[in-house]
Amino acid sequence: MELISTNVSFDGEHRRYRHRSAVLDCDMEFAVFLPPQALGREPRKVPVLYWLSGLTCTDQNFMQKAGAQRRAAELGLAIVCPDTSPRGVNLPGEDDSYDFGSGAGFYINATREPWSRHYRMYDYVVSELPALLESELPFTDQRGVSGHSMGGHGALICALKNPGRYASVSAFAPIANPTECPWGIKAFSGYLGDDREAWEEWDATLLIPYARERLPLLIDQGTADEFLDQQLNPDALADACEKVHHHINLRMHRGYDHSYFFIATFIDDHLNHHARALGLR
């Protein structure tokens, strides 16, 4: 891991790293917030919240806009923000649109050429990156996962597909039923091909009935979100949860949109949710 930069924040450190990913076959950058408990003369290992960002984002959006560091420092919780896709792998069309290719990896494993060589963000965020960080930084093997929009979709599928790997999961305005929305249909067609049955393993709403672990879901959604009706469909997720008694706390917030102003307003609630599951409260 190559340290790119570091900033002191609430007596902890915000760090940016670069490394060579074997899974993605390219260099990747990511951000880490280390709380003060993991630093100093008597550092201790701390649990980690993995934050998965949305379309067009990099590792920097959450760290600069969400305002999570103060509460994370108080709790003794590390935060890891990976990028949202491979970068600069020179695939045809990777930079043609905001919702496919660069910045839009969708946290799945592509099976369709030419994307399958690099676009394996699911394996990267679930396996490769945590293994690297738990060997190099003062992290325990206790993990939570959260995210926004495309990243909220990513957080949900990572938790649902990996019982026992995460202690907690939450999401802001997730793409809850991607097999039935324009963003998801475009991404899944491009990365996975036209067999819609192959899409089902990457859709949280469709995974809920078969989940082998039922972690409580905390979902925040703004009613003024411009993408709510066409792209996000939290009601489908809530309906799926109700049918199998999977606990979901879907909180609808009047007047809030899809921006980081919304995330910053409620991020402490999510950090507290993860902290309780990780034994920090």
Question: Which residues are designated catalytic?
Answer: 149, 225, 258
Distance CA 221, CA 134 (A): 32
Contact 202, 157 (CB under 8 A): yes
63's enclosing H/E stretch is: helix 60-65
62-75 CB burial, b ≥16 within 10 A, e <16: bbeebebbebbbbb
The strand pairing partners of 251, in sequence order, are 220
Token pair, residue 45, equals 């290992």
Token pair, residue 219, equals 């979902």
Terminus-to-terminus CA distance in the chain, angstroms? 32
Contact 33, 40 (CB under 8 A): no
Of 269, 84, 108, 85, the residue nearest 191 (C-alpha)? 108
Q: Which residue has 């994370």 as its token pair? A: 72
Contact 267, 253 (CB under 8 A): no
The whole-angstrom distance between residue 103's C-alpha and the CA centroid of its chain comes to 13
| Sheet containing 217-222, strands listed edge to edge, beginning at the edge strand earlier in sequence | 2-9, 12-21, 26-34, 78-82, 46-52, 139-147, 168-172, 217-222, 248-253
Token pair, residue 155, equals 């957080």
The strand pairing partners of 199, in sequence order, are none
